């Protein structure tokens, strides 16, 4: 095998037909990618985020092509994107996602999945149920990020929860939280996206004016620097603010309300894939297909990214191999 097709970023996005096929390291597996998703992080990388160059992409479903564990070959899998060292104190505590030596698929020092093949440690892979469609399985990584909130917080059924942001992550956070508490409101600025977000009694609102302050939990997923200020205003004293946006906040932010109201701020990033797959299995009616805005062949990757950056887009997929 001389080369493979790939979406490569090296200062500009390019479709490459003869990129070197990755070698399989001991303890790792090579995956023939079927479908990959475009994430906001991919678009931020194209603006210079983390200085990454190479093959983009970290959301995928594919079939194991090579692996020391021969029982895994031919299995359809998804994979945790963080390749930890396995030896440090963080790894010993089961926090490989925070390993200081980790590489991250398509984000930090590890080529991503917008290619015919990608590689990950064998321990990162989870076999996808046979009956699960590829377009559902490919959403495991973003849904896992939403499920992380359920791991970090003890959600009570009486909690009133507000999610700020009607983008893909905000919608997924609202859906994940709605499986644990009945009173979930998502606030956004796009009527079409809010319409798609309705599930299990979730309330959808255009703007903050219609929501009562004093929420027990406020999830900030706006992707804007103003989100934290809005969250502080809507959260009750001794309530919890969950930060999902990773945007840099320019200038000064007045955190006095956090002190005065004794609010807790929780940073929340990646999640565990088993939790996401379990949620998909437990809630087969979760309408994940609603957030798929479009699908493109890999050779149309530039067109796909252009579509993903449009305001009405939620999730754009790349079809890389026959499913």
Averaged pLDDT for residues 160-179: 96
Rounded to a whole number of angstroms, the CA Rg of the chain reads: 20
Judge whether residue 1 has pLDDT over 80: no
What angle, 0 to 180 degrees and rounded to 10, lies between the N-to-C axes of helices 168-178 and 140-152?
50
Judge whether residue 175 has pLDDT over 60: yes
Judge whether residue 190 has pLDDT over 90: yes
Judge whether residue 53 has pLDDT over 60: yes
Give me the percent of the chain exceeding a pLDDT of 90: 80
Confidence of residue 322 (pLDDT cuts 50, 70, 90): low
115 secondary structure, DSSP code: B
Taken in order 305, 198, 225, 259, the sign of the CA dihedral is negative
Indicate the average pLDDT of the chain: 93
Averaged pLDDT for residues 258-278: 93
Helix (H, G, I), strand (E, B) or coil at 94: coil
Q: How far apart are CA 87 and CA 90, in angstroms?
A: 8
Cβ neighbours of residue 60 under 8 Å, at least 6 residues apart?
31, 33, 34, 35, 36, 37, 78, 79, 113, 118, 138
Q: How far apart are CA 78 and CA 138, in angstroms?
A: 7
Cβ neighbours of residue 178 under 8 Å, at least 6 residues apart?
184, 199, 200, 201, 202
Q: pLDDT tens, 206-263? A: 988 889 999 999 999 997 778 889 999 999 999 999 999 866 566 678 889 999 999 9
State the pLDDT at residue 209. 85
State the pLDDT at residue 47. 86
Phi-psi region of 270 (alpha: psi -120 to 50; beta: other; left: phi over 0): beta
Closest CA to 270 of 130, 148, 155: 148
Averaged pLDDT for residues 116-144: 95
State the pLDDT at residue 262. 95
Helix (H, G, I), strand (E, B) or coil at 319: strand
Domains of the chain (ranges plus CATH)? 4-128+287-319 (3.90.180.10), 145-267 (3.40.50.720)
State the pLDDT at residue 248. 58
Averaged pLDDT for residues 109-115: 97
State the pLDDT at residue 217. 98
Cα–Cα distances (Å) from 181 to 80, 162, 177, in that order, read 27, 11, 6
Judge whether residue 323 has pLDDT over 60: no
């Amino acid at each position: 095998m001389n080369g493979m097709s790939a979406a490569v970023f090296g200062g500009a996005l390019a479709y490459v037909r003869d990129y070197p096929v990755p070698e399989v390291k001991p303890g790792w597996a090579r995956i023939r990618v079927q479908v990959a998703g475009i994430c906001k992080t991919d678009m931020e990388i194209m603006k210079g985020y983390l200085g990454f160059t190479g093959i983009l992409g970290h959301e995928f479903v594919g079939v194991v092509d090579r692996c020391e564990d021969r029982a895994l070959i031919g299995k359809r899998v998804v994979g945790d994107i963080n390749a930890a060292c396995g030896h440090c104190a963080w790894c010993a505590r089961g926090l490989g996602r925070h390993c200081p030596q980790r590489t991250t698929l398509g984000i930090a020092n590890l080529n991503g999945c917008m290619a015919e093949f990608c590689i990950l440690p064998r321990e990162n892979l989870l076999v996808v149920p046979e009956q699960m469609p590829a377009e559902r399985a490919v959403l495991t990584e973003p849904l896992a990020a939403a499920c992380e909130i359920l791991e970090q917080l003890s959600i009570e059924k009486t909690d009133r929860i507000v999610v700020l942001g009607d983008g893909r992550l905000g919608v997924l956070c609202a859906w994940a939280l709605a499986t644990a508490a009945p009173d979930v409101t998502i606030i956004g600025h796009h009527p079409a996206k809010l319409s798609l977000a309705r599930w299990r009694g979730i309330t959808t609102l255009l703007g903050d004016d219609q929501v009562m302050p004093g929420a027990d939990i406020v999830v900030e997923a706006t992707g804007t620097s103003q989100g934290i200020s809005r969250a502080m205003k809507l959260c009750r004293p001794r309530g919890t603010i969950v930060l999902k946006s990773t945007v840099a906040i320019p200038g000064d932010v007045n955190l006095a309300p956090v002190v005065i109201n004794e609010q807790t701020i929780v940073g929340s990033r990646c999640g565990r894939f088993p939790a996401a797959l379990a949620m998909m299995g437990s809630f087969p009616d979760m309408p994940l297909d609603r957030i798929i805005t479009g699908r493109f062949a890999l050779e149309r990757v530039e067109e796909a990214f252009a579509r993903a950056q449009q305001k009405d887009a939620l999730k754009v997929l790349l079809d890389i191999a026959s499913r």
